């Protein structure tokens, strides 16, 4: 990540790490609220804190178009939900429509066998710098690095197509439809809390994890992507298929799909990866008068 996009540090409470974190965050991310620490940090013997925060924004130069109606999203359990979405096509003529399409790069497209579903991946805005946002509609693979490896293989194979120069473009006969995603969640890793550290120097002194939590705020809409994450780990010592050129392609993310964000460039790895498996974190479509 770009250095300006994140802050990370660690230290002991007795050495002023809490005050350091709060002061540094106020300088580097003045619009964010001051980090709050549990009062336990002042009472746990030899309390320590490891803290990190990241904030990035990817703005699309040409906003996509709000989909005029409900978008039917089917979760992995078969549940179907009408949600809001954005599209590459305007509801009515717009002189910017070609520019909207041109900012999308098709990373690969595989037509399905009979009875299956097409698989595809897109770079939503190939001109965005320094970060790249990729959406991939594919069968779920675990662990996540297996999914990322498969995407890389499919991208490499797609580039070998003799018509790659044309097929990498979102053509007028193609269409992109993506659900709006918006959520802010805080997760406490209860399975880590209370566990002792195995590092030799720490284990002998009976250091344990007293708090482990992460907040993630993610928004994907027609104007861009917002990603914020805050993580805190507190501790102390004991006591607590090939494309068919002639056919239109439908990039409809209407079933579980993968999102990842990375610094642009083949040498960089994603720092945010997420399966969108259901509609709980999407904006529900509601008819208005």
Q: Delineate the domains of the chain, giving CATH numbers in brackets.
A: 3-57+183-237 (no CATH), 59-182+242-276 (2.30.39.10)
pLDDT at 242: 40
| 84: DSSP letter | -
pLDDT at 74: 94
Per-residue H/E/C for 54-120:
EEEEEECCCCCEECCCCEEEECCCCCEEEECEEECCCCCCCCCHHHHHHCCEEEEEECCCCCCCCEE
10-residue mean pLDDT profile of the chain (289 residues): values are 94 95 96 91 87 96 94 93 95 88 96 82 95 94 91 96 94 94 91 84 76 94 96 79 60 93 93 92 75
pTM of the model: 0.85
Coil, helix or strand for 66? strand
- d(C-alpha 51, C-alpha 92), whole Å: 48
- d(C-alpha 279, C-alpha 282), whole Å: 5
């Amino acid at each position: 990540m770009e250095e300006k996009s994140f802050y990370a540090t660690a230290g002991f409470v007795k050495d002023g790490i809490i005050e350091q974190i709060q002061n540094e965050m106020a300088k580097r991310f003045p619009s964010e609220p001051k980090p709050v620490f549990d009062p336990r940090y002042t009472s746990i013997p030899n309390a320590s804190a490891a803290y990190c925060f990241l904030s990035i924004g990817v703005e699309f130069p040409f906003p996509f178009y709000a989909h005029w109606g409900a978008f039917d999203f089917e979760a992995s359990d078969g549940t179907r939900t009408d949600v809001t979405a954005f599209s590459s096509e305007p509801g009515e003529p717009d002189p910017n429509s070609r520019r909207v399409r041109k900012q999308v790069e098709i990373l690969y497209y595989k037509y399905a066998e009979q009875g299956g579903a097409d698989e595809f991946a897109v770079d939503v805005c190939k001109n965005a710098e320094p970060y790249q946002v990729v959406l991939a509609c594919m069968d779920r693979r675990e662990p996540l690095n297996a999914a990322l490896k498969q995407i890389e293989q499919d991208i490499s194979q797609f580039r070998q197509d003799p018509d790659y120069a044309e097929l990498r473009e979102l053509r007028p006969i193609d269409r992109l439809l993506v659900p709006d995603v918006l959520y802010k969640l805080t997760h406490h890793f209860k399975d880590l809390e209370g566990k002792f550290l195995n590092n030799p120097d720490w284990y002998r002194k009976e250091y344990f994890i007293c708090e482990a939590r992460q907040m993630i705020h993610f928004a994907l809409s027609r104007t861009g992507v917002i990603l914020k994450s805050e993580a805190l780990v507190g501790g102390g010592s004991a006591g607590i298929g090939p494309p068919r050129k002639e056919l239109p392609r439908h990039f409809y993310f209407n079933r579980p799909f993968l999102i990842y964000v990375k610094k642009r460039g083949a040498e960089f790895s994603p720092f945010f990866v997420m399966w969108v498996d259901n509609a709980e974190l999407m904006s529900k479509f509601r008819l208005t008068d």
